[in-house]
């Protein structure tokens, strides 16, 4: 996979500053051919900026980039791709209404793929070679998150790849998908491809990566061999010696029913959408309920159903004892429902709007006066307090959502919803792309909200997070819900069986067929 060199990539004194922020401060890093090299650091440490500099999206203010032992000025992403670099961004750059083949065609020069039919065959061939099976004819909006990531990786592999940059590649993948991705990455490395792996999941870094570079505040604070370094040691290089992680979030004291779904069914909204079958779910005040599941098994539909964006064909939804089945999003929010969507830049926020304006996207229900008027000075101050309380790295309330790193935007959105003191909070991937210290802060805040009487529903594929936070756990598969039981009564093995659709004898066959 490309020319032999002693250094695939070397960064020398790379610096980049923005108004009020030094993103990269004289960064030094070397990546060898065939090496899987981790880049770790807290949210806002400068990781994504550094990757964008390597890929030519951002121009550095100072420093040198050495590519295959030669100093190189990357003129832009197209130039980077011609050199043999590929990058999979944390937020995928795919057009939802186009097919897999059409998306990849937009990425490659026409002379490189010839025709769509020929490109389709190449996609199938590369997918088979690396175990990245994907249907080239499917529209992207019908794919799960894991499948969309496969599309991004396949389109990188269609070129003569020498360096693959992955930004938080396992953040929303299931354990099985992570295992498969690790296998693919090791195969690529064995063929000489270098891999830059950005992740907050330190155990994955320790298992997968040959070397790691740690960033803090835009500076390199250390490097290590992950397999010879503990997660705690890496965390302290990232966050400092004052790091404290809560090992237990206590247990809830369940009260009255806050939200109930009674026999709710929803027909699929498209060829690849998931139908929901006779969902019975009760969320109780002062309790956190967790639902695990392989991506694409009805989680999106369940969240949209609860939020009021999807109407049921049968059954009913009660919110605080009131029948809200026919009510929409606004009525449910006014009744005390809050939602954290999986898509934080799109459904959770609007990139071009300021943080104050983004806060108002959901907080207008509580922040407007009796006549519906908004008063910007107190609104701006509340946004400033949110930024401070959740340690969101931003210069102020006027920063746009798109200017924040993924992890900092996640902290902002979680903080925005918690600040509403909702009666019911639905969190889809609550700590996606968030560093270990910030994840702990979010966990503590969710536990506090639970203790104040909020009913919380968490949907995640992070089973460790599920067991840490949740009083009751279950799983969703093929649009059907498993039993919900106290977390201490459900083994990891049992939860895995539920995620595969093995709930109970009468249900199993139908669920497996749906899956």
224-275 per-position pLDDT tens digit: 999 999 988 888 888 776 666 667 788 889 999 999 999 999 988 766 678 9
Most confident region among 178-192, 353-367, 471-485 by mean pLDDT: 471-485
- Write down the residue that tokens 């935007």 correspond to: 409
- What domain range is 213 assigned to? 1-84+186-241
In this prediction, residue 114 has a pLDDT band, given cuts at 50, 70 and 90, of confident
- Is 18 within a domain? yes
- Is 236 within a domain? yes
Helices marked H in 287-339? 299-307, 329-334
Q: Say whether both 339 and 286 belong to one domain.
A: yes
Using CA atoms, how far residue 117 sits from 102, 120, 124, 138, 153, in Å, is: 10, 5, 11, 14, 20
Q: Say whether both 452 and 310 belong to one domain.
A: yes
**CA gap 195, 38 in Å, rounded:** 8
For residue 501, pLDDT over 70 is answered with: yes
Q: What's the rounded mean pLDDT across residues 397-417?
A: 90
Provide the β-strand partners of residue 183: none
Interval 94-107: pLDDT, tens: 888 899 999 999 88
Q: What's the rounded mean pLDDT across residues 109-120?
A: 85
pTM over 0.75: no
Instruction: Supply the DSSP symbol for 352.
Output: T
For residue 206, the model assigns a pLDDT of 92
Instruction: Output 89 or 340, whichever has higher pLDDT.
Output: 340
Q: Say whether both 23 and 72 belong to one domain.
A: yes
For residue 505, pLDDT over 60 is answered with: no
Q: Could you give the number of structural domains in the chain?
A: 2
Interval 203-230: pLDDT, tens: 889 999 999 999 988 999 999 999 999 9
Q: Say whether both 212 and 270 belong to one domain.
A: no
Provide the β-strand partners of residue 468: none
Q: Say whether both 436 and 306 belong to one domain.
A: yes
For residue 181, pLDDT over 90 is answered with: no
Of 51, 68, 56, 81, which Cα lies nearest the Cα of 9?
A: 68
Instruction: Output 251 or 515, whichever has higher pLDDT.
Output: 251
For residue 506, the model assigns a pLDDT of 37
Q: Say whether both 233 and 263 belong to one domain.
A: no
Q: What's the rounded mean pLDDT across residues 134-158?
A: 85
- For the ranges 171-180, 190-199, 256-265, 380-389, the lowest mean pLDDT is seen at 171-180
- Is 358 within a domain? no
Q: What's the rounded mean pLDDT across residues 307-313?
A: 92
**CA gap 227, 213 in Å, rounded:** 13
Q: Say whether both 434 and 478 belong to one domain.
A: yes
Q: Which of 241, 274, 308 is the last residue of a domain?
A: 241
Q: What percent of the chain has pLDDT over 70?
A: 93
Q: Say whether both 195 and 335 belong to one domain.
A: no
CATH number at residue 40: 3.40.50.300
**CA gap 486, 472 in Å, rounded:** 4
In this prediction, residue 369 has a pLDDT band, given cuts at 50, 70 and 90, of low
For residue 286, the model assigns a pLDDT of 96
- Is 434 within a domain? yes
- Is 379 within a domain? no
Instruction: Supply the DSSP symbol for 270.
Output: S
pLDDT, the chain, mean: 87
Of 309, 251, 315, which Cα lies nearest the Cα of 284?
A: 251
- Write down the residue that tokens 């099985």 correspond to: 176
For the chain, how many residues are written? Answer: 515
For residue 232, the model assigns a pLDDT of 84
Q: What's the rounded mean pLDDT across residues 130-140?
A: 87
Q: Say whether both 194 and 304 belong to one domain.
A: no
Q: Say whether both 264 and 229 belong to one domain.
A: no
- Is 394 within a domain? no
Residue 334's φ and ψ, nearest 5 degrees, are -65, -25
Q: What's the rounded mean pLDDT across residues 102-113?
A: 84
Q: Which of 194, 210, 241 is the last residue of a domain?
A: 241
Q: Say whether both 507 and 426 belong to one domain.
A: yes
Interval 335-361: pLDDT, tens: 999 999 988 888 889 999 999 999 988
**CA gap 411, 149 in Å, rounded:** 23
Half-sphere exposure of 99 (CA within 13 A, CB side): 13
Q: Are 39 and 50 in contact (CB under 8 A)?
A: yes
Q: What's the rounded mean pLDDT across residues 397-403?
A: 92
For residue 250, the model assigns a pLDDT of 85
In this prediction, residue 56 has a pLDDT band, given cuts at 50, 70 and 90, of very high
Q: What percent of the chain has pLDDT over 90?
A: 54
For residue 292, the model assigns a pLDDT of 92
- Is 357 within a domain? no
In this prediction, residue 467 has a pLDDT band, given cuts at 50, 70 and 90, of very high
Q: Are 269 and 472 in contact (CB under 8 A)?
A: no
Q: What's the rounded mean pLDDT across residues 125-139?
A: 87
For residue 337, the model assigns a pLDDT of 96
**CA gap 463, 447 in Å, rounded:** 17
- Is 161 within a domain? no
Q: Say whether both 328 and 426 belong to one domain.
A: yes
Half-sphere exposure of 435 (CA within 13 A, CB side): 31
Of 373, 399, 397, which Cα lies nearest the Cα of 385?
A: 397
């Amino acid at each position: 996979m490309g020319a032999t060199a002693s250094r695939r990539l070397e960064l020398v004194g790379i610096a980049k500053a923005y108004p009020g922020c030094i993103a990269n401060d004289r960064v030094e890093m070397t990546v060898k051919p065939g090496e899987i090299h981790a880049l770790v650091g807290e949210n806002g440490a400068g990781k994504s900026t550094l990757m964008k500099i390597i890929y030519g999206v951002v121009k550095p203010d100072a420093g040198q980039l050495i590519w295959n032992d030669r100093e190189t000025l990357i003129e832009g992403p197209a130039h980077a791709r011609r050199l043999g670099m590929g990058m999979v961004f944390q937020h995928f750059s795919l057009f939802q209404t186009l097919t897999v083949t059409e998306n990849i065609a937009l990425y490659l020069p026409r002379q490189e793929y010839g025709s769509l039919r020929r490109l389709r065959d190449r996609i199938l061939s590369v997918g088979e070679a690396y175990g990245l099976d994907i249907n080239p004819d499917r529209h992207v909006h019908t794919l799960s998150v894991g499948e969309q990531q496969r599309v991004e990786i396949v389109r990188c592999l269609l070129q003569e790849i020498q360096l693959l940059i992955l930004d938080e590649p396992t953040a929303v993948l299931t354990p099985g998908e992570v295992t498969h991705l690790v296998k693919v990455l090791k195969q690529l490395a064995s063929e000489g491809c270098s891999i830059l792996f950005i992740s907050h999941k330190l155990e994955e870094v320790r298992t997968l990566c040959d070397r790691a570079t740690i960033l803090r505040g835009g500076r390199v604070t250390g490097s290590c061999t992950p397999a010879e370094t503990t997660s705690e040691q890496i965390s302290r290089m990232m966050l400092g010696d004052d790091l404290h992680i809560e090992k237990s979030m206590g247990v809830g004291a369940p009260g009255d029913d806050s939200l109930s779904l009674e026999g709710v069914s929803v027909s699929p909204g498209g060829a690849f959408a998931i139908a929901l079958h006779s969902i019975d779910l009760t969320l109780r005040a002062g309790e956190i309920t967790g639902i695990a599941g392989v991506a694409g098994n009805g989680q999106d539909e369940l969240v949209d159903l609860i939020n009021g964006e999807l109407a049921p064909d049968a059954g009913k939804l009660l919110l605080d004892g009131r029948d809200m089945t026919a009510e929409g999003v606004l009525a449910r929010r006014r009744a005390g429902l809050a939602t954290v969507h999986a898509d934080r830049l799109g459904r959770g926020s609007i990139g071009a709007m300021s943080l104050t304006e983004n806060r108002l996207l959901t907080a207008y229900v509580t922040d407007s006066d009796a006549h519906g008027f908004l008063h910007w000075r107190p609104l701006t101050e509340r946004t400033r307090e949110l930024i401070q309380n959740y340690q969101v790295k931003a210069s102020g309330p006027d920063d746009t959502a798109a200017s924040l790193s993924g992890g900092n935007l996640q902290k902002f959105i979680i903080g925005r919803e918690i600040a509403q003191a909702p009666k019911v909070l639905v969190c889809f991937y609550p700590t996606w792309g968030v560093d270990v210290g910030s994840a702990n802060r979010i966990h503590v805040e969710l536990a506090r909200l639970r203790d104040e009487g909020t009913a919380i529903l968490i949907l995640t594929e992070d089973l460790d997070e599920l067991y840490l936070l949740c009083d009751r756990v279950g799983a969703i598969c093929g649009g059907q819900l498993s039993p919900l039981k106290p977390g201490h009564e459900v083994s990891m093995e049992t939860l895995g069986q539920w995620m595969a659709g093995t709930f109970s004898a009468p249900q199993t066959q139908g669920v497996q067929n749906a899956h």
